[in-house]
Amino acid sequence: MNSTFRPKQIYEQVSGQIRADIRSGQFAPESRLPSERELAARFGVGRPAVREAIGALQNEGLVITRRNSGTYVCADALQRLSAAPADDDASLADADISPTATLDVRLILEPAIARRAAALGQRDALAEQYLAQMDSIVDVTDPEQRVLWNNSDRLFHRQLAMMTGDALLVKIADEVAKTMDQPLWKRLKDDGIYDTGRIRLYVSEHRLIYEAIVGGDADAAAFYVEQHIRRVQRDIAPK
């Protein structure tokens, strides 16, 4: 048995079909791709899978998305594809985890983590440091501030698991945090959360979560976490 075999995620199947359509000339260089809704109907998948596929193709330099205009095949897409391994070879490598799958797992895991942390009700210096770093962001379009935002956000959620004192929960949270450091997650997050006003809202939600935990209010902490993750879903993986 081939030890490298693994089933392809839905977004990988969609991106593979779009690559094939670029190779065949159905989507010519510099042409505009159909809308997310049209692609979802064509492939029989949900819009989140299409958005993830386009994000993966953006990271490969095959397409470019222009806000309020659409997604276009890059002029050098065919040259890039000719230099890339065939899809069958590429499938042997580890692909990024679907951000939609990550968010689904977070909806299961993080409210429980918040409840456990609230049972201890202790302040945490690192969590407060990450909150302060997020609060310092004034221009999310600045590359350095965007990196600071992404790292602080990811590490804040991981630190909530540390606040439970449960080593197994921390290990599980570490695996989730790794998916939030992958290029596809960052691409969709950057595309979906691109204005400072949205960042301010996220900071406020993080503070509500943290203060509910240190105040020992498990129900509120779990509620605020769930509402925050659902907002992230709406921003980066709309239905």
Grade residue 86 by pLDDT with cuts at 50, 70 and 90: low
Do the beta carbons of residue 131 and residue 210 sit within 8 Å? yes
Say if CB 42 and CB 50 are below 8 A apart. Answer: no
pLDDT at residue 1, as a whole number: 45
Domain definitions of the chain by residue range = 10-90, 99-236
Q: What is the DSSP string of 181-232?
A: TSHHHHHHHHHH--SHHHHHHHHHHHHHHHHHHHTT-HHHHHHHHHHHHHHH
Mean pLDDT of 221-229: 98
The DSSP-derived string for 48-105 is HHHHHHHHHHHHTTSEEEETTTEEEE-TTHHHHHHHSPPHHHHTTSPPPPPHHHHHHH
pLDDT digits (tens, 9 = 90+) for 154-209: 999 999 999 999 999 999 999 999 999 999 999 999 888 888 889 999 999 999 99
pTM: 0.89
CATH number of 10-90: 1.10.10.10
Residue 4 has pLDDT above 80, yes or no: no
Residue-wise pLDDT tens digits, 41-80: 999 999 999 999 999 999 999 999 998 899 999 999 999 9
| Fold exhibited by the domain 99-236 | Four Helix Bundle (Hemerythrin (Met), subunit A) (1.20.120)
Distance of CA 232 to the CA centre of its chain: 9
